[in-house]
Chain A
Amino acid sequence: NAGVTQTPKFQVLKTGQSMTLQCAQDMNHEYMSWYRQDPGMGLRLIHYSVGAGITDQGEVPNGYNVSRSTTEDFPLRLLSAAPSQTSVYFCASSYSSTATNSPLHFGNGTRLTVT
């Protein structure tokens, strides 16, 4: 199993550009989520999904969209990039649909810089 795969690893955007961060898992996990991590800070939840076709907002959803058309994929879209979105983004998945009784498996992260 590849686990959780995130692409790209690095990305530089100009303010106002849009892009999609890709996340795929091959573990048949129901739960998937996106976090951002700013320097010296913890992980803040952006959006999450408890199964295909179901998404919900986390702590910091503004400026981001997600969709979950398949169990495997959970892309994160930046609609109009802003410097405040410069961060490291982690995708994570979990076996249980609400991730309340099984661990999160993280991807290797995407380092995004918005100039």
Chain B
Amino acid sequence: GENVEQHPSTLSVQEGDSAVIKCTYSDSASNYFPWYKQELGKRPQLIIDIRSNVGEKKDQRIAVTLNKTAKHFSLHITETQPEDSAVYFCTPPDSWGKLQFGAGTQVVVTP
């Protein structure tokens, strides 16, 4: 989507290392920030989300951090495993509910 930038576009990590993906948005009205994971040939599924009243949320090896001032939020995966290999999407909604996805980040975890 034109209001969303996601970096990097591809990320190759060694198993056990950490991965960080950043999503930059333009609509300041956004207050809900989800991350989706799409495994090859499957549908996207929510893995973690955060609301604007908190700066960080963690769920086991996955965390999301939010910087509303700088208008970006990031996905952190620690102790990466082969099953983390997938495409990850961010989608900060605009104020009209027109959900635009970032281009996605292909994460490849090598043993």
B35 to chain A, nearest CB (A): 10
B45 within 8 A of A: yes
- Give complex CA distance A109, B43 in Å: 7
- A43 at interface by CB-CB < 8 Å: yes
Taking a contact as CB atoms under 8 Å apart, the answer to whether B101 and A43 are in contact is yes
Q: How far is the CA of A60 from the CA of B97 in the complex (A)?
A: 16
Count of A residues near B, CB < 8 Å? 26
Chain A: residues with CB nearer than 8 A to chain B?
A: 31, 33, 35, 41-45, 48, 50, 56, 58-59, 90, 97-104, 106-109
Residues of B whose CB lies within 8 Å of any CB of A are: 1, 30-32, 34, 36, 42-46, 49, 51, 89, 91, 93, 95-104
Q: Which of B32, B42, B99 has the most CB of A within 10 A?
A: B99
Specify which chain A residues have a CB less than 8 angstroms from the CB of B45 in the assembled complex.
Answer: 106
A50 to B96, CA, bound (A): 10
Asked if residues B97 and A97 are in contact (CB atoms below 8 Å), the reply is yes
Residue in contact with A43 in the complex, picked from B32, B46, B89, CB distance below 8 Å: B89
CA distance A33 to B93 in the complex (A): 13
